[in-house]
């Protein structure tokens, strides 16, 4: 099934992001455009999250929302046993601002992340290395496990290293989405300090996202593009 988002991406591919932005910009207020530009300037692609086989829609939704709010652009979902579903009320529209990458197996996800230049880190409560000792000089992908069983043995074996968020209480692990928040906020802040900038998307990706984001909230964006650009 082709969604409106697919149709807008089709216009971006066929006509280029600048043409799409030019047609849609008159429908947006200056404040809206400035907000989009501010958020895009702070978008970070070199810290990313992958979740393996989560089953609680509230955790999935909180993970999406946290990643978006912290300025990550990509979320990888490893779903060998069925689709990742996020509770609608909790997502509050966060999902549309992210690029969701779905993987049928952890091997496929890790291979793609490595090919993209990421070091791949597992999270587990009993890992010897603390999150604060992670080298953030290069791009990082962090894997999070299932609410009950944690990461699978396959995932743990596939990763380059394992890290823990230190715990000081009687509880043996954090909730999944809480861990995503703790880990991504710390690693993204440290990575931004290394970059010397809030964001690191290249110009082409930023232009593509800007065009896509212009279409959100414009009623009938697809028809407006058809009138302005043809098919």
Ligand X SMILES: C[S@@+](CC[C@H](N)C(=O)[O-])C[C@H]1O[C@@H](n2cnc3c(N)ncnc32)[C@H](O)[C@@H]1O
Specify the pairing of strand 129-130 against strand 161-164: parallel
Nearer to ligand X, 59 or 215 (CB): 59
Q: Which is nearer to ligand X, 146 or 215 (CB)?
A: 146
Please, which residue, 48 or 215, has the CB nearer to ligand X? 48
Please state the closest distance from residue 176 (CB atom) to ligand X, in A. 4
* DSSP state, residue 97: G
Q: How far is the CB of 142 from ligand X (least distance, A)?
A: 8
> Using CB under 6 A as the criterion, which residues of the chain lie in contact with ligand X when the complex forms?
123-125, 144-145, 147, 150-151, 164-165, 167, 173-176, 179
Count of CA atoms in the C-beta half-sphere (13 A) of 144: 28
Residue nearest to ligand X (CB): 150
Min dist CB 61 to ligand X, Å, is 16
Query: Which residue, 137 or 167, has its beta carbon nearer to ligand X?
Result: 167
> Shortest distance, CB of residue 217 to ligand X, whole angstroms?
34
DSSP letter assigned to residue 160: S
CA distance 161 to 60: 24
Going 185 to 191 to 196 to 201, the CA torsion angle's sign is: negative
Q: Under a CB-based contact definition with an 8 Å cutoff, are residues 154 and 37 in contact?
A: no
């Amino acid at each position: 099934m082709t969604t409106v988002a697919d149709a807008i991406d089709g216009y971006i591919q066929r006509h280029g992001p600048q043409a799409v932005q030019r047609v849609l910009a008159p429908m947006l207020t200056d404040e809206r455009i400035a907000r989009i530009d501010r958020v895009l300037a702070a978008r970070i692609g070199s810290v990313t999250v992958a979740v393996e086989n989560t089953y609680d829609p509230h955790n999935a939704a909180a993970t999406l929302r946290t990643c978006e709010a912290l300025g990550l652009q990509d979320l990888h979902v490893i779903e060998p046993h069925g689709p990742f579903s996020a509770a609608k009320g909790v997502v509050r529209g966060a999902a549309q601002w992210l690029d969701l990458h779905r993987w049928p197996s952890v091997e496929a996800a890790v291979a793609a992340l490595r090919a993209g230049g990421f070091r791949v880190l597992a999270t587990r409560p009993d890992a010897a290395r603390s999150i604060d000792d992670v080298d953030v000089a290069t791009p990082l992908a962090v894997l999070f496990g299932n609410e009950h069983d944690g990461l699978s043995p396959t995932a743990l074996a596939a990763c380059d290293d394992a890290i823990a968020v230190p715990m000081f209480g009687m509880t043996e692990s954090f909730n999944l989405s809480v861990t995503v928040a703790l880990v991504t906020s710390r690693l993204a802040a440290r990575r931004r300090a290394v970059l010397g900038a809030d964001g690191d998307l290249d110009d082409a990706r930023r232009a593509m996202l800007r065009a896509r984001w212009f279409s959100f909230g414009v009623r009938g964006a697809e028809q407006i593009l058809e009138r302005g650009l043809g098919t």
